[in-house]
A and B are shown apart, each in its own frame.
Chain A
């Protein structure tokens, strides 16, 4: 499907050599997002993300200098409530889906999570 403004934008991008998402950028984003990506995937993602950002670039046709960024689609005052505990004290339910839970010597599960060693 043809999106209006597409050809002009592509031409402009070509002429001004707008940045593309390269492999180094992909690896950096993956690091920030804490997602392991394989070498072959890095290549594909660089191409796909370049296409997507190339397509998104058309937003720059619109002058938004005096426009407020949206904060909420529905005009409403943020609700507030009394600052008091209304839930909690239920470690078992909170922990019931834990992927790794330690147990005491008798084999009873303890109420905390296990993570890989963080501090040497």
Chain B
């Protein structure tokens, strides 16, 4: 196994600082890994020249003792919904197949200024709509975790390419985005850490919009400490995004003190679903025991509106998507399919440019916003959203953090759960409530399923309390001691 690709971000930074290896060597090792792993289909666009250029600049900075940040020289994978100046950005869609942005998103600009080395743009569910990375125009992403049955499993979604890249040791970190669970659920399926900060921590400027009141950028890494380091280089207050918050930014990695003594951990009983696999329940109990052993106090709490979160989400997110995706009209950029009239050109362009799941969600959104249904669906959902937020606020008066499973199952095989959209939507049942309430949350690998696939544990904290999230996440990580590796890595030894 190529040892440079097996490092963490923290250890790579130390190695670069000590001169054990250069950023160029680190980039070259990862570029080779990306090229050798094309069967995973994790990347839509590889940018090896750009990576080497940035790595060389990084080495020059370090040689002068002027490393830009802890991310300087660190090879990362970037989800293909971040607009990157001069590098194709498709959002996994046919409609943006030939789109090259003339500007850089704020988050990737921040990462660039921090010295991070972009290896390429990662595959994703089309417009981030999906939980299995099977809706991309560029094909399915394969989870590096395989079993003996020979079946390919999904990496989760929608940030499935970034998840597979980090789990498959193609990149040290990945930039993902999370609307209803799109960072955390693939992290759980791929055995890595995935973190969504508080809504407003990261600027959404230059991110291809799905549901603007929910979309939030976040890091995907192999350790909790790495997630803290990477998040540090993603957040900023940005005047170009009116929902970006002007809030003091703490040193996230410094929050990893391992001390969670007397912290109250809420365990919401409504997250115990009928028919949930026993292995999920067992891991959850184990998680509670781990935190208890570290000095925290588990408290059973009740969040009765939990069961309404998912149907609420499936009104709010498609409604916002139908509005956001109205911009793809074949006129200013993206695909155009000609028609005899302007309307026919729109219809042909959007009919052929969008895949089935995107068309379905635009239609749900159009319906719930249409005359006569707006109050019954959209306003109703926004009222439910108020109740879900208030319920979290009340619960957080008594606890510091909540612990739940991340997903109701381990990664499933490509082809399963594909017949019924509602079955697919249930993948996000545990991640969606925190999204609706704008709360920070993290998925940390907790263990393996009975079959040997990774399972994540999910933590949620109060708004802007990412420090507690990382601290408790670090304790969970230490206790779980998750050292299992995806079988894919054995093949590339």
Contact = CB atoms under 8 A, between A and B. Distances in A.
A2 B333 CA distance: 44
B198 A99 contact: no
Contacts of A26: 363
Contact of A113 (B242, B332, B387): B332
B274 interface: yes
B338 interface: yes
Given A30-B363, A36-B348, A55 B245 contact: no
B408 A1 contact: yes
A34 B468 CA distance: 46
B335 interface: yes
A48 interface: yes
A49 B387 contact: no
B333 A98 contact: yes
B308 A33 contact: no
B312 interface: yes
Contacts of B213: 72-73
B229 to A, nearest CB: 25
Interface string A28-71: 01101111110000000100110111011011101010011111
Contacts of A49: 360, 363-364, 367
A4 B308 contact: no
A116 B382 contact: no
**Chain A contact residues, majority secondary structure:** loop
B381 interface: yes
Interface string A70-96: 111110101101000000000001101
Given A4-B307, A52-B422, A69 B387 contact: no
A55 to B, nearest CB: 5
A2 B366 CA distance: 28
Contacts of B342: 115-116, 118
Contact of B347 (A36, A45, A53): A36
A100 B338 CA distance: 10
Contact of B315 (A2, A56, A100): A56
Contacts of B345: 115-116
Contacts of B308: 58-59, 62
A33 B338 contact: no
Interface in B423-473: 423, 426, 429, 436-438, 463
A117 B243 CA distance: 39
B408 A96 contact: no
Given A35-B354, A100-B336, A116-B340, A70 B363 contact: no
Which of the four size classes fits the interface of chain A? Answer: 35 or more
B322 A97 contact: no
B385 A70 contact: yes
A51 B322 CA distance: 19
27 contacts: A3-B307, A21-B367, A33-B322, A33-B362, A34-B343, A35-B351, A45-B360, A56-B311, A56-B315, A59-B315, A59-B380, A64-B384, A64-B387, A68-B386, A69-B386, A70-B382, A71-B382, A73-B213, A74-B463, A81-B239, A97-B98, A97-B102, A97-B333, A99-B336, A113-B332, A115-B331, A116-B345
Interface of B: 98-100, 102-103, 198-200, 213, 239, 242-243, 245-246, 273-276, 305, 307-308, 311-312, 314-315, 322, 329-336, 338-348, 350-352, 354, 359-360, 362-364, 366-367, 370, 377, 379-387, 389, 408, 420-423, 426, 429, 436-438, 463
Given A55-B314, A116-B341, 14 more contacts: A1-B274, A2-B274, A5-B307, A26-B363, A29-B370, A49-B363, A49-B367, A56-B311, A59-B384, A62-B384, A73-B436, A76-B245, A79-B246, A98-B332
8 closest Cβ pairs, A-B complex: A73-B438, A36-B351, A69-B382, A97-B333, A99-B336, A64-B383, A36-B347, A34-B346
